[in-house]
Structure 1
Amino acid sequence: MTKLSVNINKVATLRNSRGGNVPNVVAFAKDVQGFGAQGITIHPRPDERHIKYQDAYDLKPEVYTEYNIEGNPIDTFTQMVLDIKPTQVTLVPDAVDALTSNAGWDTIKHKDFLIEKIQEFKQNGIRTSIFVDPDVKQIEGAKATGADRIELYTESYAHDYAQGNKKAIAPFIACAELANQLGLGVNAGHDLSLENIKFFKENIPGLLEVSIGHALISESLYLGVENVIQMYLNKLK
């Protein structure tokens, strides 16, 4: 079964809109794990506009499933990850002012930088993943960095699938097949939803984990968090 890691950034965004600690992101993380989610994902950014760095530390003792921290490995992010030692760090090339993730790494251009960061994380017992576009050359580049996994950036798939274009899955299949051959684990995330997750899961070989936040939280407003977690788990079997 493909694991479901719930990105809780949106919960922090709601909390921050009023100040205080409601909703409580730590309590929410504990709840979704209790509902069956197999991981918690956070993506702190330098301006802390949703998840704050302190949240990352506060969550550590409460995440008993997989703990995945995403972000651009600038110095402050790197030190935080080394302090916390989550299950996995996912490297994402976010610009400081990016609204949300909008591109994968150029693993060829940034090979030396990625090698340095990945070695540092792996020496501290942290599994590493690189956020990449569905391009086989980038998969080959990711392998050369020493990463343990890739995370396929799925926005283009989600957009085209919503337009009825199921052929949009093709480059993702090719990348997953190559990753499997190279010994890279395959994760995926961005704009995956209850509408498109089952088809993606059924067609991507060796899909280990999906990270879902925006859609899952939005769907939960209508359907309830516990119900939505169960619906995702059923589609990922």
Structure 2
Amino acid sequence: MTTALSVNVNKVALVRNTRHLGIPSVVRAATLCLQAGAHGITVHPRPDARHIRAEDVHDLRELMKSWPQAEFNIEGNPFHNLMDFVRDARPDQCTFVPDSEGQFTSDHGWDLRADGERVKPLIAEAKALGVRVSLFMDPLPDAMELARAVGADRVELYTEPYASSWGTPRQTQELGRFADAARAAAAQGLGVNAGHDLNRDNLPDFLRAVPGVLEVSIGHALIADALEFGYAQTVRLYLQAIGQGSGGGSP
């Protein structure tokens, strides 16, 4: 199994939005990443449109028609603006994220004991539209049964706790938590994605330790690297990092 790389292009839009010139182009960035071998494109349009805007989602959906082998993933809070994009764009995957409207960045997964009944009908709606649903989750093995019960197809493990521990004595403990969560997800029949603060350095260790990771979604670090190396070389470097991790092996 090879772990797929989905490139989050939010930060490209963030730079573009500081001027009114239309550069850098989100569509051009996505095109270059796909040409270099990325397996998908991710966006997280927030209600305040501080980076990705509605027209970007439309333009990227049109672009992805020329890349049928690649996946289009839209992230966001289904209680805010995400479902409008799901209904209109019909992405390959939508990732439900429990962030607040003004939140700086995503920083926790779903508490499905509190929100499960609210998200369940929205998951069913997305799936009825032919959209795969992934839930942004903390690495808690016991929560994976709840994710299956509300109808999710996959979970995206929130990896910041691992990323902040990388290179410290806590790294082994954190990797153990994520490995346990991934095994619990697989036992429930859920696919496993991962994302948040993953980069070229910490990605191989994560994939070696955590079984069955189908997809990693990487934005901030990858776009930062692209400022130095360019999009194409950066994507190739991340694909090499994935290769070094051997995709995490079998669940």
Deviations along 1:139-165, one digit per CA (max 9) or x if unpaired, are 221111110000000000000114353
Deviations along 1:90-147, one digit per CA (max 9) or x if unpaired, are 0001101101001111022111111111000000000000000111122221111110
The aligned residue for residue 206 of structure 1 is 212
Matches of 2:157 and 2:120, distance apart in 1: 19
Deviations along 1:24-56, one digit per CA (max 9) or x if unpaired, are 101111111001000000000000000001111
Deviations along 1:75-98, one digit per CA (max 9) or x if unpaired, are 532122111100000000110110
Match of 1:185 among 187, 191, 196: 191
The aligned residue for residue 91 of structure 1 is 96
Matches of 1:91 and 1:147, distance apart in 2: 10
Alignment of 1:111-150 (within 5 A): 111-150=116-155
Deviations along 1:206-231, one digit per CA (max 9) or x if unpaired, are 11000000001111222222111111
Unaligned runs of 5+ in 2: 244-251
Matches of 2:220 and 2:81, distance apart in 1: 25
Matches of 1:35 and 1:142, distance apart in 2: 34
Matches of 1:17 and 1:161, distance apart in 2: 33
The aligned residue for residue 50 of structure 2 is 49
Does 2:229 align with 1:223?
yes
Deviations along 1:159-211, one digit per CA (max 9) or x if unpaired, are 01143532121110000001111110000000000010001111111110000
Unaligned runs of 5+ in 1: none
Matches of 1:53 and 1:162, distance apart in 2: 39
Alignment of 1:96-115 (within 5 A): 96-115=101-120
CA contact (8 A) 2:192 2:214 kept: yes
TM-score by length of 2: 0.92
Partner amino acid, structure 1, of 2:234: V
Q: Once structures 1 and 2 are overlaid, which stretch shifts more, 29-38 or 107-116?
A: 107-116
The aligned residue for residue 174 of structure 1 is 180
Matches of 1:231 and 1:23, distance apart in 2: 22
Partner amino acid, structure 1, of 2:156: E
Partner amino acid, structure 2, of 1:52: R
Partner amino acid, structure 2, of 1:18: R
SS of the residue corresponding to residue 134 of structure 1 reads coil
TM-score by length of 1: 0.97
Matches of 1:180 and 1:196, distance apart in 2: 23
Deviation at 1:19, TM superposition (A): 2.0
